[in-house]
């Protein structure tokens, strides 16, 4: 009797763990190697996986060293900006730097409205858009949605390089809207003041930044 109960318990536990690990992708998701890169960044910089969120609504936007996350109900959304870098060149310490900036409820609400008005959730991943060109140099964006149990992962390579493709214009307007609402340039400049490295790179990009140190000089006799 005891062994039967134990077997039933182990079966139940295994089924629960397996069910939690299964991700229900939307039909228009991009499950290429970039998805694994995203997971690696999420683990390395402790960003979490929204695939397992229990909220009815979770959204995440990625660019180089940048994550914008909106979650919660439409009338009471929550949000944050996360900036992250790693030293360049990499060293044995394997250090990284991450900083979080809260998004006010009013701005989180504006972003929800922007997502809905531009129908970003319905926009296919770029590989499913006829005429969307790919390249090596450029900027890559990622969107994730977890809505009522269904998860989507989509990528968009350099929408400004797509000429007059209407889907590219649609997504670029979204990027512009995020920058307008959140003043991302100011966030980026402020973030750089906190970075503890002399030179760093934004994960996903092929460039690095070096801090310029200005030495103060004094005239003789002063």
**Domain-embedded: residue 171:** yes
Domain membership of residue 88 (yes or no) is yes
What pLDDT is recorded for position 2?
Answer: 43
Q: Which of 123, 154, 156, 125 is nearest to 140 (CA)?
A: 156
Residue 192 lies in a domain: yes
**116: containing domain:** 24-210
- Residue 194 — φ and ψ, nearest 5°? -90, -20
Does residue 35 sit within a domain? yes
Q: What is the pLDDT of residues 167-205, one digit of tens each?
A: 999 999 999 999 999 999 999 999 999 999 999 999 888
Q: Has residue 4 been placed in a domain?
A: no
Residue 65 lies in a domain: yes
Do the domain assignments include residue 194? yes
Domain count across the chain: 1
pLDDT at 215: 65
- Residue 43's pLDDT is 95
Using DSSP's 3-state secondary structure scheme, residue 61 falls into strand
Residue 119 lies in a domain: yes
* 51 touches 62 (CB < 8 A): no
pLDDT digits (tens, 9 = 90+) for 38-48: 999 999 999 99
CA dist 165 → 23, 61, 81, 158, 169 (Å) = 31, 21, 29, 12, 6
Inform me whether the pLDDT recorded for 220 exceeds 70: no
């Amino acid at each position: 009797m005891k062994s039967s109960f134990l077997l039933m318990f182990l079966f139940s536990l295994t089924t629960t763990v397996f069910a939690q690990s299964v991700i229900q992708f939307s039909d228009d998701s991009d499950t290429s190697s970039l998805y694994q890169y995203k997971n690696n960044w999420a683990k390395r910089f402790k960003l979490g996986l929204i695939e397992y969120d229990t909220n009815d609504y979770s959204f995440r936007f990625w660019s180089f060293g940048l994550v914008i996350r909106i979650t919660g109900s439409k009338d009471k959304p929550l949000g944050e900006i996360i900036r992250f870098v790693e030293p360049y060149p990499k060293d044995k310490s394997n250090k990284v730097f991450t900083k979080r900036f809260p998004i006010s409820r009013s701005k989180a609400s504006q972003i929800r409205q922007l997502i809905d008005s531009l129908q970003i959730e319905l926009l296919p991943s770029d590989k499913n858009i006829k005429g969307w060109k790919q390249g090596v140099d450029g900027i890559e964006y990622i969107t994730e949605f977890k809505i009522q149990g269904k998860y989507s992962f989509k990528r968009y390579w350099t929408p400004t390089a797509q000429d007059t493709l209407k889907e590219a214009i649609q997504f670029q307007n979204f990027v512009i809207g995020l920058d307008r609402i959140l003043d991302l340039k100011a966030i980026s400049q402020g973030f750089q003041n906190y970075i503890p490295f002399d030179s760093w790179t934004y994960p996903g990009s092929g460039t690095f930044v070096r801090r310029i140190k200005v030495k103060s000089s004094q005239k003789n006799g002063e």
